[in-house]
Chain A
Amino acid sequence: MDLKEKLISDYRLHESKLNGFARGKIYNIKLDAERYFELLGFPNRKQEDWRFTNVNPIITNNYNYDLGAQPQISEEDLQNFLVPGLKANTIVFINGIYSDKHSKIITEKGKAYIGTIKDTQKSNKELIEKYFAGNADYKTDGFTALNTAYMNDGVFIHVSKNTEIKEPVLILNITDSSKGEIMYHPRVLLVAGESSKVSLIEIYESDGENFSFSNAVTEIYSENNSEVHYYKIQNECDKSYHVGTTQVRQERDSRFNSLTVSWGGSVIRNNLNASLQNKGADTIMKGLFIASGNQQIDNHTLVDHASPYCHSNELYKGIMDENSNGVFNGKIMVRKDAQKTNAYQMNKNIILSKSALVNSKPQLEIFADDVKCSHGATTGQLDNEQLFYLKARGIGEKEGKKLLLYAFANEILEDIPIDDLKVYLEKKLSEKLEKNNSLK
């Protein structure tokens, strides 16, 4: 029985257990999502959106997705996964199971509601039902349908109107495959109320020698004039698979600023989709991906200018080494009435080995006629002239490459407004480049 068949059959047999929610709106949505998963299944390479990324390694494993006892983690190991010095609302999940012991909310209750989806379902049912699955469409995507049907728990954040939350919300997803292959479905729902400001950080870490698959969905509602900063940091290992969809809905004058850093994982697919629903919305998407070995890192973005007078800007940079495979697919839609749209996109990649590969594909669908749109992509090697200049000053090939690669990647990190996060990422970048085989 392949994975899809197994999932479907198990859901039918253990529906109440796997659905996990009391009868109600969300329960019904999950049932509906499961039906759509049956219909859609997992994508394959024949579908345009999945042309460059091989899904087979992800779905040919024998994962355990039964929710057993909560795996344990030592305080010391946990500290290694957090951002040093950062004062944040910290919510920890291990294999998709919430760990109350390691989590802590520090923002005052009146400013924002931050809780698990399960708790919210009990304490704030109407609020969560209003937004859940309203953004990420499970009817068109198999992975989203699977997550929606199978998700056990997650995080719900609701920021009150006119409120700025200074402490970021940090969600740490730890994949523990030490006891066997594991699959789980992280889920996040963030509603930033009118004129509010909040930062959301999602960190993925792993432990254990077996294969794992995290299939995530994050929905973000950015109401009028709100400002959301979103960070997704992927530090898993070469036995981890990850598919994640972050769906953002932006209202009038809202600002969404996103940074995706992908350097740990065997096959990673990030879908980042922003829909600009009303005038004055501003969207910034930055990404950095560094791959080596046989890693496959695929970043698909969609910026849907559904309204006039909006602005978007994307910059994704990749460093590919050894046999790795990178994909950047940036789709920009400018609808018929979206006049005065300003949309920019840039993808820059450096290839360090003969067998590394990058597929860079911009997709611009422009239906309005008074717009400014541009896209660009460069893929090349390190600049020999620069390397020689460094050598002529006594900096050898290895150190020179590290210096240039660090400078290349750091452009993505330099504007991070959260100092502790910036320092943490710069340090990880240095460590990553130190370990890189081409630079040994």
Chain B
Amino acid sequence: MLSIKNLRASIHGKEILKGINLEVKAGEVHAIMGPNGSGKSTLASVLAGKEGYDVTSGEVIYKGKNLFDYSPEDRAREGIFLAFQYPVEIPGVSTTNFLKTAINEKRKYLGQQPLSSVDFLKMLKAKAKFVELDTEMTSRAVNVGFSGGEKKRNEIFQLAMMNPDLSILDETDSGLDIDALRIVAEGVNKLKTKDNAFVIITHYQRLLNYIVPDYVHVLSDGQIVTSGGKELALKLEELGYDWVEDLADAK
């Protein structure tokens, strides 16, 4: 589904991604771990199409198409979902209204009829129940007054509603207590299918106790220095990121 080849990207002239290679197939869960400053968020931002980043070389092929040919909104409509690390507040816009607009924009793009209000509400109630979200939250303005944990849960709820093919979770576990973490992980586990894929970007290993990855990649100083199965995450937990830096230096 996603093929990243030798991706290099910089911001304000400073190179952050120094040649990323990654293959993600449908049905897979990939974890990307790394110390602060390794380029994790930059990777997520570049894939989502955030302004300010310069892709200096390499390519990203998504479902057979050149990802960089698409605007951020078209990438979303093509089925990419980015769960933000720091979701922004949007006063005056309710989550319900926001999602209805987003879903209907996607449907329009795909040549489908917009969802009626009745059908939309049915879907909203069902998905909210699925990810254990109180529907009261959906009538509030997007992320306004939400605790860190509530914001992350709201991201997972939006994920459930948008039904993406490729979900990129950018440090979804940062700022979550153990209960919230469990609920986020359960949401993801329920939403996993053989047709979609997840890229989970995380600093800590503990989320991976709940969302079991198929592959773990370790990012250090803009490059993936090692990849492996889920045991790699445990090794990292044990040895810390210094071990990774040694690996990177050795390369």
Instruction: List the interface of chain A (C-beta within 8 A of B).
Output: 383-386, 388-397, 399, 403-404, 406-408, 410-411
Contacts and interface: CB of A to CB of B under 8 A. Distances in A.
A99 to B, nearest CB: 39
Contacts, number: 70
A397 B48 CA distance: 15
B93 A395 contact: no
Interface in B66-117: 71-73, 76-77, 82, 84, 87-88, 90-93, 97-99, 101-103, 105-106, 109
A404 B73 contact: no
B66 to A, nearest CB: 19
Given A403-B93, A407-B93, A408-B92, A390 B98 contact: yes
Contacts of B92: 406-408, 410-411
Q: Say whether chain B's binding surface is mostly helix, strand, loop, or mixed.
A: helix
B158 A393 contact: yes
A386 B90 CA distance: 7
Contacts of A395: 73, 98, 101-102, 105
B136 interface: no
A393 B91 contact: no
Nearest to A385: B88
A388 B76 contact: no
Contacts of B49: 391-392
B129 interface: no
A394 B51 contact: no
Contacts of A404: 90, 93
Given A386-B90, A411-B92, A391 B73 contact: yes
Given A388-B72, A389-B84, A394-B106, 6 more contacts: A386-B90, A392-B49, A395-B73, A395-B102, A407-B92, A411-B92
Given A389-B88, A393-B158, A394-B77, A399 B98 contact: no
Contacts of B82: 392
A92 B152 CA distance: 54
19 contacts: A388-B72, A389-B84, A389-B87, A389-B88, A391-B49, A392-B73, A393-B158, A394-B76, A394-B77, A394-B102, A394-B105, A394-B109, A396-B71, A397-B73, A404-B90, A407-B90, A407-B92, A407-B141, A408-B92
Nearest to A393: B102
B162 interface: yes
Interface of B: 48-51, 71-73, 76-77, 82, 84, 87-88, 90-93, 97-99, 101-103, 105-106, 109, 141, 158, 162
Given A388-B72, A399-B105, A393 B162 contact: yes
Across the A-B interface, the 3 shortest Cβ-Cβ residue pairs: A407-B92, A394-B76, A391-B72
B14 to A, nearest CB: 21
A395 B106 CA distance: 8
A149 B23 CA distance: 82
A321 B24 CA distance: 45
A403 B73 CA distance: 15
Contacts of B109: 394
Contacts of B97: 403
B174 to A, nearest CB: 17
A426 to B, nearest CB: 12
B162 A389 contact: no
A404 B101 CA distance: 12
B79 to A, nearest CB: 10
A248 to B, nearest CB: 29
A411 B51 CA distance: 29
Contacts of A383: 88
